[in-house]
Amino acid sequence: MFNGKAAKILYGGDYNPEQWPREVWQEDMRLFQLAGVNIATVNVFSWALNQPDENTYSFEWLDETLDLLHASGVQVCMGTSTAAHPAWMATKYPDVLLVESDGRKRKFGRRHNSCPSSPTYRKYAKRMAQQLAERYKDHPAILLWHVNNEYGLRCYCENCEQAFRDWLQQKYGTLDKLNEAWYTRFWGHTFYDWKEIVAPSAQSEHFQINGVETTCFQGISLDYARFTSDQILDCYKLERDAIKAIIPDAVVTTNFQSNGTYKPLDYFKWAKELDVIGLDAYPTSDMPVSYTSMRHDLMRGLKDGDPYLLMESCPSQLNWKPQNALKRPGVNRLWSYQAIARGADSIMYFQLRRSLGAFEKFHGAMIDHAGHEHTRVFRECAELGAELDRLGDTLVGARTEAKVAILFDWENWWAIEYSSGLTVDLKYLNEVQHYYDAFFSQNIQVDLISTDSELSGYDLVVAPVLYMVKEGYASKLDDYVQSGGTFVTTFFSGIVNENDRVTPGGYPGELRKLLGIWVEESDALLTSKTNQLKMSASLGSLEQGSVYDCRILCDLVHSEGAEVLAEYGSDFYKGMPALTKNSYGTGEAWYVASSPEPIFLQKLMGRLCERIGIQPLLKAPDLVEVSSRQKEGKRFLFVLNHNEEPRTIELGDAMQTDLLSGKDVSGKIELAANGVMILESEQRRD
């Protein structure tokens, strides 16, 4: 990934020496060495320092920083500093300031504050990237480039509005096509001139339900979501191209936010423009373990299984939650290996030294305000650093093999949650998570894939709430099932095309033949209400007659050839199909007509895997997470005990080596609370 330069798991993180006097820098180098730090991300928020006015650039502090890090054996992840514009720029060129959905133009302040269409922002961001690339093109410390920081936020200014019109003109060519796509005869929205189109915002189409912004016109809002993701991506590309024009083999990335499920940016689309994926992950102890794992798997999925970089994580407490608990002893190590287990090739922190002032002075860091190495957090970081160092290059570049894929689609996510009706309780991420959990709880490896991904390598493909069926996707699924694949989808699927226009002729639209069903109506349950799925036949551990709760939506299904395996237990649609299986070609297409309780999905997915021959990686107690990576004929099985007590695990007869303890293990073993093992064996061929 790094032109052969990174032979180890990268370990380090954000380093802000510009906040500190020179004598502290020397001390930092000593502490970095003690902790096994081999990478530092610098220059993330120093635009104002680097460019005191329009024509002056001053990088002396950065020259010194890079030289010092290099002399200390620390590689550099080079920020471009464009994630917070300087105050002088905002005063002189107000077009850099973002406009909120309600039309309020922001004043200078905070960060991540620039309009992505601002000519000023684009001009100076590009120039900054050029300046940096020119100055440091031969600097031996630089391993990779980190453009901007946690891109995001939508802007609704006039420049964005005009850029939106241009984007639409590119996409649709004529207003007739646009009017057709957006269904503008509804509420008299027909457009006769491109200038009539305004950004959909709280000033135009948007309003709030339960504090969440939604829309009266799905077509325009969906396109604005696509446009803003693209427009911000353009800003990234502008800097990336500027760097690559000067350093053709530069490795360029940016860091993805919100643990990888940041709604406004279509990270699958972004991934194509990044050399390596960078993730900022801030799990907390109140999040289910599987929540974090799913997002790590998604990051691995963004580039078809390529390892990614954990670019930010916190070694101890956060500062932006209502209450910011300390990470308990051993938890940072455990969660770091959780990332590595699922495909990360780095553990990087925000940040290496805790700031003394402003917003993040209470954000955990490797070096605390005490300023020395004699702290619990530093000791734990140093132990982990030493351990990762001992692992050398063993795991670097290792990949993961999965036979199960879960479809994840940003556009579908936007469309579901912009839809007015059927229920505000339907949250795309939750439904995807439910299916993910069904596999996670049984240690069955899963890939998260996009609508562009090849399906043929998977034996089981699950598409939770496939509301939006993009052009060509139904026939892709058809081919997959025809040729022997097993496909599972759910309620509220096959409803619209990519413009959020209903496919007429009965739900689930283009998927109707494949699934062998017709959904006549869909009932939204009150938040507190449930219906039941009653098994009409036995299916593995789902015994005939057994009953499971279901929530949110209940599709009223008629079979058109599909076998009915469960039916509703109550209400006027009692007895109608709630789980169906359609044999199609040499494969099967399943439909889960409501949102069932976790145990039902666990049993159903377990059964499907069993029939197809997909094995759990290891049978282990609850909250003992298992994931595997492969490299050069070796398999590395990560076993992570997320319980606060030890757990007994049955490893089987074969002797395996735990890379962390160096011990050979087999049979029954006890894994400590927060304990981790990485078991090496010859790769299984199945």
For the CB of residue 154, give the shortest distance to Zn ion in the complex, in Å: 9
User: Which tokens hold the place of 505?
Assistant: 């002729």
Task: Give residues in contact with Zn ion (CB under 5 A).
Answer: 115, 117, 155, 157, 159-160
Q: Which one is catalytic: 239, 312, 380, 431? A: 312
- Which conformational region is residue 568 in: left (phi greater than 0), alpha (psi within -120 to 50 degrees), or beta? beta
**What is the C-alpha separation between 347 and 17, in angstroms, rounded?**
20
Contact map string, positions 146 to 165, toward ligand GLA, x by CB under 6 A: ---xx---------------
Tell me the residue type at 637.
L
Would residue 373 show up in a list of annotated catalytic residues for this protein? no
Select 89 or 115, whichever has its Cβ closest to Zn ion.
115
Q: Which residues pair with 557 in a beta bridge?
A: 519
251 and 78 Cβ atoms separated by less than 8 Å: no
The listed partner (ligand GLA, Zn ion, none) that binds 157, CB under 5 to 8 Å by sort, is Zn ion
Task: Examine residue 350 and tell whether it contacts ligand GLA (CB under 6 A).
Answer: yes
Least Cβ distance, residue 638 to Zn ion (angstroms) = 44
Contact call for residue 282 and ligand GLA (CB under 6 A): yes
Rule CB under 6 A: say whether 362 interacts with ligand GLA: no
Query: What is each CA distance from 9 to 640, 677, 679, in whole angstroms?
Result: 19, 17, 17
Residues 6+ apart with CB under 8 A from 475: none
Residue with Cβ nearer Zn ion (118 or 674):
118
The two most distant CA atoms of the chain are separated, in Å, by 77
> How near is the Cβ of 316 to ligand GLA at its closest, in Å?
11
Out of ligand GLA, Zn ion, none, what residue 477 binds, judged by CB under 5 to 8 A for its kind, is none
State which amino acid sits at residue 329. P
Find the angle CA(630)-CA(635)-CA(641) to the nearest 5 degrees: 105
| Distance between CA atoms of residues 58 and 60, nearest Å | 6
Closer Cβ to ligand GLA, 259 or 412, answer by number: 259
User: Under rule CB under 6 A, which residues in 622-661 are in contact with ligand GLA?
Assistant: none
Residue 160 partner contact from Zn ion, ligand GLA, none using kind-dependent CB cut-offs of 5 to 8 Å: Zn ion
577-584 vs 587-592, strand pairing mode: antiparallel
Residue 135 found at the interface with ligand GLA (CB under 6 A): no
Closer CB to ligand GLA, 360 or 373, in the complex: 360
Q: Does 555 sit near ligand GLA (CB under 6 A)?
A: no
**Active site residue: 150, 205, 431, 625, which one?**
150
In sequence order, the β-bridge partners of residue 42 are: 78
Which residue, 201 or 254, has its beta carbon nearer to ligand GLA? 254
Select the binding partner of residue 96 from ligand GLA, Zn ion, none (C-beta < 5 to 8 A, by kind): none
Q: Provide the angle, in degrees to the nearest 10, between the axes of the packed helices 158-172 and 218-246.
A: 100
What CA–CA distances, in Å, run from 451 to 379, 461, 649?
A: 44, 11, 37
DSSP bridge partners of 507: 519
Q: Could you tell me the smallest distance in angstroms from the CB atom of residue 294 to ligand GLA? A: 19
* Distance of closest approach, residue 678 Cβ to ligand GLA, in angstroms: 27
Q: Which is nearer to ligand GLA, 44 or 477 (CB)?
A: 44
Q: Phi first, then psi: what are they for 127, rounded to 5°?
A: -65, -40
Residues 76/40, Cβ–Cβ less than 8 Å:
yes
CB of 282 to ligand GLA, least distance (A): 6
Determine the Cα–Cα distance for residues 165 and 171; give it in Å rounded to an integer: 10
CB 257, min distance to ligand GLA, A = 6
Q: Binds 128, which of ligand GLA, Zn ion, none (CB < 5 to 8 A, cut-off by type)?
A: none
According to the binding rule CB under 6 A, does residue 312 interact with ligand GLA? yes
CB of 451 to ligand GLA, least distance (A): 28
119 or 621, CB closer to Zn ion?
Answer: 119
Residue 308 CA neighbour count, 13 Å, CB half: 31
Residue 147 beta carbon to ligand GLA: minimum distance, rounded to whole angstroms: 13
- Respond yes or no: is residue 150 known to be catalytic: yes
Contact 641, 674 (CB under 8 A): yes
Using CB under 6 A as the binding rule, whether residue 88 contacts ligand GLA is answered as: no
Nearer to Zn ion, 105 or 399 (CB): 105
Q: Which of ligand GLA, Zn ion, none does residue 155 bind to, with CB < 5 to 8 Å depending on kind?
A: Zn ion
Cβ atoms 312, 13 nearer than 8 A:
yes
Distance CA 261, CA 242 (A): 28
Q: How many residues are given for the chain? A: 686
Q: Which is nearer to ligand GLA, 312 or 498 (CB)?
A: 312
Distance set, CA 164 to CA 123, 172, 479 (Å): 19, 12, 36
Closest by CA position to 149, among listed 249, 62, 262: 262
**Two structure tokens written together for 188:** 């008299």
The residue number whose beta carbon is nearest to ligand GLA equals: 280
Number of residues that bind ligand GLA (CB under 6 A): 9
Residue 363 binds to ligand GLA (criterion: CB under 6 A): yes
Q: Which two tokens stand for residue 319?
A: 């500062």
Site for ligand GLA in 209-228 (CB under 6 A): none
- Positions that interact with ligand GLA (CB under 6 A): 149-150, 280, 282, 312, 318, 350, 360, 363
- So which residues are the catalytic ones? 150, 312
